[in-house]
Structure 1
């Protein structure tokens, strides 16, 4: 059990204390608190205006509580200060969890997996981002012209990646690998696998550290899905494996084809079946759908494959039972990580309940130009935000999974975003039509 007195000693060693959570869009929000009152905050929380945070309340029902979670504390050592970091949960009233809190949804689906199936999961997200010269688009925005695995001095972001990893390591988080990506200015840092709730919390922490460190280096880190025409996107691939309560690996079966268990096939089938109607969670912005194009390392077809990087769900090479996992390649980092994790697991569990089978794996590249896409072609992932919204609005699965309140709040938020883009006249329209 966590020793509060020991934690208070660690808090006394930092300069400021901030409690982080996300809005419904997935953007990090934070509240600085007085460290002298931290024990009271653990018990009673800190009040805030939920109507001023996307998706958390209306003006007539806006009083919310942010409760710092003691077991999420990290001491972050930046160049100019030491910051005490907490993840917080959202309550309506003391002890009454907010039905609009995506973190609560992830907690609930993990508990459901334990109670109904005896499952637990490990999750390992891949973090991709661009390091740019500023946050306003111009011809000199790229920080380098390097490519995949290129080294310093062509990879001018190597020193920044090292600083990011150093901050992570000092607060107890080890990285697995990091490198320059295919596209100029693009980078990837991968961390180890954790339970999905801890992995989601760590993603919020990682994105904050990345943006903070790059700012200190006079650069700008963006997790925007598709910043540049004709280039690869920022992806947020999520690796998932399942274990029983004794630690046996449930996606591995040496007696089955490709050593993929029946349970794994059912889990994959659920993700494939519900991929279109949950796409607005995996790819949640207008910009997200500009990345679903042929040949740019983003999935376009609903399906799965073995070691196939054009597949939506991929089975990576594994040399041991504990490494047997699935990789979901449709999410991007603009979404809410708690919603993404929860929904992926929820789709997989539904596939098990329905005893679905994922069928044959993809063969060859899904970027085959002979695949002629029709309007509203259900073989494919949605081609635009509007298509994803229509699929989500008609989804009984998504409404039941999210619950009425979260479903309504989220879709209202996304419809408003779509309407803003739908009615905005762009410079390209002026150029072509004025």
Structure 2
């Protein structure tokens, strides 16, 4: 039987009956954006997990501590949402059947993403998918739907994940040894795995546009087609997980760290955003003539210029995130908009219905649900305040200053480290108004715990610098 096209419950049941599908990964994103969940037999999924055939689906249950751990899966004390005192109970993961898809790189396997609810069926407000959904509801109330696209870069290594770990994560080799930006010969060497990723993502109903080499040895970018913001975040998450799974199956490894190599450019997550009518049919980003921004889009961009620095934490959530922000590194830090200018943090590109603003600030390590939510919250603040973005910046935004010296224009820059970004986010009126007390506490506490964990560690850099000489 055919296994092409979207997967629904009817086709899942047919493929399960014929033995073509026997496993469904029932998953949800955690606070880092990675997928957690369970592998469920296809028959149990159809009979018990989802609404079908007159019975109410039960979803799956999982421990609520999963939204309060760090990347090491260590329980982080001090959260309000889930605690030792409350006993770390369960939440329920309810499949969103719009996300049901085959996973071609895993044998006889499908995947579905879930929303999280408490025992009473209420959404878990601090779950990343719900955080984004809440911002999309605010946009809808303002008369818009939001379409987004995220461009993810990653480094490919001939070393397996196990080999990298055995070498204590010291300088994994890269595929190739020179800059392969748009390079056809060098990317041909990686084409067997890159082609597999492109084609198998299409088989997973993730619309791939193209692949290209990026600006460092072993660095690649594979672009997904833009879509509604929630669908884009879902596709981003499944794609990112899939790239790592395929790399593993090919005896290699891939990393989406923001800055895995000090001497090379980092990996970004450029976020493209456009405004549409609530039915998603009519573009609202361009003016009536189609050759410039509408008043609403100008206000949205003004909101990004004014507030995105304070919401940097949502697009740069880790210690390593801030290592990208180096002068003339292709990772802009100035929250200024410009016309097709890659030195600016906000780059206006496209025309007509394709007119959109690109935020070049987030890194590839960002949780897309949170990064998208931050962009929407900042932009909506501009619309609510009736702001205007003014004239575009001209020149090299890296050369502009973040102080009061006379050597160039003064621009607002993103924070340079995680503690500063955490404080800026915590104290932001826009963030507090958009996300509410529970979400703000949850996100800030996670960032503070990450900094504390790092601050209590001793790095290789410290050993090299001080073991003998200090």
The TM-score with structure 1 as length reference comes to 0.92
Instruction: Supply the distance in 2 between the matched residues of 1:373 and 1:178 (Cα, whole angstroms).
Output: 39
Aligned residues: 426
* Residue equivalent to 2:287: 253
1:210-289 paired onto structure 2 within 5 Å: 210-245=243-278, 247-253=281-287, 259-289=292-322
Q: 1:309-366, CA deviations, whole angstroms, 9 ceiling, x for partnerless residues?
A: 1111110143xx1111111111122122111112211211111000111122121111
Matched, 1:82 2:108: yes
* Residue equivalent to 2:89: 62
Question: Which of 31, 41, 56 is 2:49 aligned to?
Answer: 41
Deviation of 1:267 (Å): 0.1
Question: Which of 144, 160, 163 is 1:119 aligned to?
Answer: 144
- Quick check: 1:283–1:289 contact (8 Å CA) kept in 2? yes
Instruction: Supply the distance in 2 between the matched residues of 1:53 and 1:371 (Cα, whole angstroms).
Output: 39
Question: Which of 388, 394, 403 is 1:357 aligned to?
Answer: 388
* Residue equivalent to 1:9: 14
Deviation of 1:431 (Å): 3.1
Instruction: Supply the distance in 2 between the matched residues of 1:222 and 1:106 (Cα, whole angstroms).
Output: 25
- Quick check: 1:145–1:154 contact (8 Å CA) kept in 2? no
Q: 1:78-126, CA deviations, whole angstroms, 9 ceiling, x for partnerless residues?
A: 2x61211110111112521111112112222222322x22211221111
Matched, 1:173 2:173: no
- Quick check: 2:377–2:430 contact (8 Å CA) kept in 1? no
* Residue equivalent to 1:342: 373
* Residue equivalent to 1:185: 218
- Quick check: 1:239–1:325 contact (8 Å CA) kept in 2? yes
SS in 1 for 2:184: coil
Instruction: Supply the distance in 2 between the matched residues of 1:215 and 1:18 (Cα, whole angstroms).
Output: 18
Deviation of 1:203 (Å): 0.8
Matched, 1:333 2:364: yes
* Residue equivalent to 2:174: 142
1:98–1:364 CA distance, 2 compared to 1 (3 A): same
1:109–1:393 CA distance, 2 compared to 1 (3 A): closer
* Residue equivalent to 1:324: 355
Instruction: Supply the distance in 1 between the matched residues of 2:253 and 2:302 (Cα, whole angstroms).
Output: 39
* Residue equivalent to 1:371: 401
- Quick check: 1:121–1:242 contact (8 Å CA) kept in 2? yes
Cα RMSD of the aligned pairs, angstroms, is 2.3
* Residue equivalent to 2:191: 158
Deviation of 1:49 (Å): 0.9
Instruction: Supply the distance in 1 between the matched residues of 2:347 and 2:302 (Cα, whole angstroms).
Output: 12
